[in-house]
Amino acid sequence: MLIRYAQHLAQGHGIVYNIDEPPVDGATDFLYLMILAGLIKLGLAAHHACIALGSLAHIMTVLVVYIANRHVHRSSTTAAFVSAGYLALGPGLSYTEASFGTTVFTFFLALMWWGALLLLSGRATRPCEIGFACSGLLAGLTRPEGVIVSGFILLAVVLSRGVRQCVRLLIVFAIVFAVIGGAYFAWRWQYFGQPLPNPFYVKGQQVLYPASLIVAIRNVTRFALPFLAIMLPLGCRSKLLLKYTAITLLPVFGFTAMWMLLSNEMNYMGRFQYPILPVILMSWAPCAAGIYGTYIKNTVHLMDSRMRSSCLVCFLLLASTFFYTRARAIAGTPPSTRQQGLALVAHKLSAFAGHGYTLATTEAGLLPLYSRWRSIDAYGLNNHWIARQGGITPDYLSSMDPELIVFHDTWPQRGDPAAQGWFRMLGILENYVHENDFVLVAAFAGDRRHIHYYYLKADCPDYDILYNLIGSVRYYIADREAIDISPLISGNRQTPSMP
C-alpha cells in the first residue's frame, strides 16, 4: 500500500492512491513515505528501497539498544549483548521484508528513549534536550501515534525529575513541537482536507475497543516476556528501584493502553506494538544488576579460564537458539511467501492496466500495487468518501462501476465483535456482486480462516481472458497452496463452511 503512494509521489503525482484523484493519507507513515519516495526518485527499485531503509533502521536501533545499555546504565557487556541480540533476531526484518515502515518508527522511538534515559540519569545538557525533543518529533512525523508516546515519555521524565528541573526541557519540547510540528499539522490539514490520517476515521469511530487492548497487551507481553519477567519482580526490591521501574514502564503501559482507541485490523505480526520493545530492552538491566553482582559474579570468579570459556560458549549457543526460536515464533511464516497468490494475480492483471478498468478490493496493498489498476479500497483506509461516510455503500460501488471485486473473508471469525466494521463491509460486497451480474471466477481457500473471492463483471470487454487468467493461477495464502472452491459455491449467496 505504502509503496504505491511512494511511487506516485516520486512520479510527481503527489500523495495519492489513484493518479488524478485528490490526495489521501492512507499510509500514515509520512516521514517514511517521504524518504522512500526520495530513494525511488534517485533510481532505486521500490522494494529495494524499502529493504535498504528498513534494514538500516533496524541495525541502527540494535546499536542504540547496545550503546544505551553500556553508556547510560554501565551494564555488563553480556546484558547489553543479550538486549541487542534479542532485538536483532526479532521480527524487525520481517516487517521490512513486508515493506512496512515499522523499523524506522522504532528507531526514532529508541533514540528518544535513549535521550530520556540520559535525562533521567541527570545528564541533562542542552544538546541532549534538543535531541530528545527532535527524536520525538521525528517519531510523530513517522507515525501519528508517535506524538502520543512522545507525550508519555516526556511525562515520565518530568515525573522523575520534577517540573522545576524540567523547565528548559519543556520549553525546548514545546518550541520543537509547536513550531515545526504545528507547521506540519497545518500543512497536512490543508493538503489532505482533514486533520487526522484516513485510517483513524475508519478504525476509530469515537468508541473504545477492549478487544484491541487485549491484543495489545498480549503482543507486548509476547515480545518482551523474558525482560518483563525480570523487571516486574526485581524492580520492587527497593524504593529507588521501584521508582525507576514505575517511571520506565509508564511509557510502556501508556503505549499499550492507547491501542484501545482503534480497531485491530492490519496489525500484521503485532507491528503496532513492536516499537515499544526497545524501550523495555534499554531499561531492564538496572533491575537485574544487584542479582548479577551478588550471585553470578562471585560464581564466575571461582571458575578457571577454561571453565569460563566453556560456559560462555554454551550460553551463546543457548541464547542464540532461544532468540532464533522466539523470533520465528513471533514472526510466524516468512512474509516472502505470504499472500503470494495476490501478487501473482496482480502481475497478470497488469497487462490490462491501460484499459481503464476499476478494481474494488479489501486487499489494498499487493493487488493495486502490482496490477496498476484504478482501485477502490473497500475498507476505506485509502478512500476519503468511504472513511467519512462510515463504510462503503452499494450506491458508491454503482457510481464507481468496478469490473473486478476481490475480498478476503475470514468466515469463522464473523462473530468477532472487534471486527464488525470489516464484516459489515464484506456483507455489502457479497450482496452487491450477487445483485449486479458478477460471476464468481475463483474462491481460493488456504484454510477456513482465509478465503479470497474473485468476482468479475459479466459484461467486462475482456471477460473471457480475465476469467481464464485469474482461474489459472497457482494460488498461495499464508504459505499454503490454496484450493479453488468456487465450483462448490457458484450461485450461492452465503459463504459456506469449509469441508
pLDDT in tens, 468-477: 999 999 998 8
Cβ neighbours of 329 (radius 10 Å):
10
Residue 348 located in a structural domain = yes
Domain that holds residue 50: 2-331
Q: Looking at the domain assignment, is residue 497 inside a domain?
A: no
Q: Is 180 part of a structural domain of the chain?
A: yes
Helix (H) or strand (E) holding 94: helix 92-97
How many Å apart are CA 22 and CA 194, to the nearest integer?
Answer: 12
CB 395: neighbour CB atoms within 10 A?
A: 8
> Residue 290 has what pLDDT?
59
77: enclosing H helix or E strand: helix 77-88
- pLDDT for position 291: 56
Domain count along the chain:
2
Q: Tell me: do 123 and 218 sit in the same domain.
A: yes
d(CA 141, CA 108): 10
- Among 300, 331, 362, give the residue marking a domain's end: 331
Predicted pLDDT of residue 269:
86
The residue out of 331, 350, 377 marking a domain boundary is 331
**What pLDDT sits at residue 8?**
95
**pLDDT for position 14:** 94
Q: Write down the mean pLDDT value for the chain.
A: 86
Grid coordinates given for 480: 499454503
Q: Are residues 242 and 312 in the same domain?
A: yes
Q: What's the sign of the alpha-carbon dihedral 37, 38, 39, 43? A: positive
Predicted confidence at residue 337, as pLDDT, reads: 40
In a shared domain, residues 122 and 162: yes
Q: Are residues 299 and 245 in the same domain?
A: yes
Residue 498 is assigned to a structural domain of this protein: no
Quote the pLDDT of residue 13: 95
The answer to whether the CB of 353 falls within 8 A of the CB of 396 is no
Model pLDDT, residue 370: 93
State the number of CA atoms in the 13 A half-sphere of 41 facing the CB. 15
Judge if 248 and 368 occupy the same domain: no
- Is 70 part of a structural domain of the chain? yes
Same domain, 303 and 362: no
Q: Is residue 494 part of a domain?
A: no
In a domain, 94, yes or no: yes
Residue ranges of the chain with pLDDT lower than 50? 292-300, 302, 326-327, 329-339, 492-499
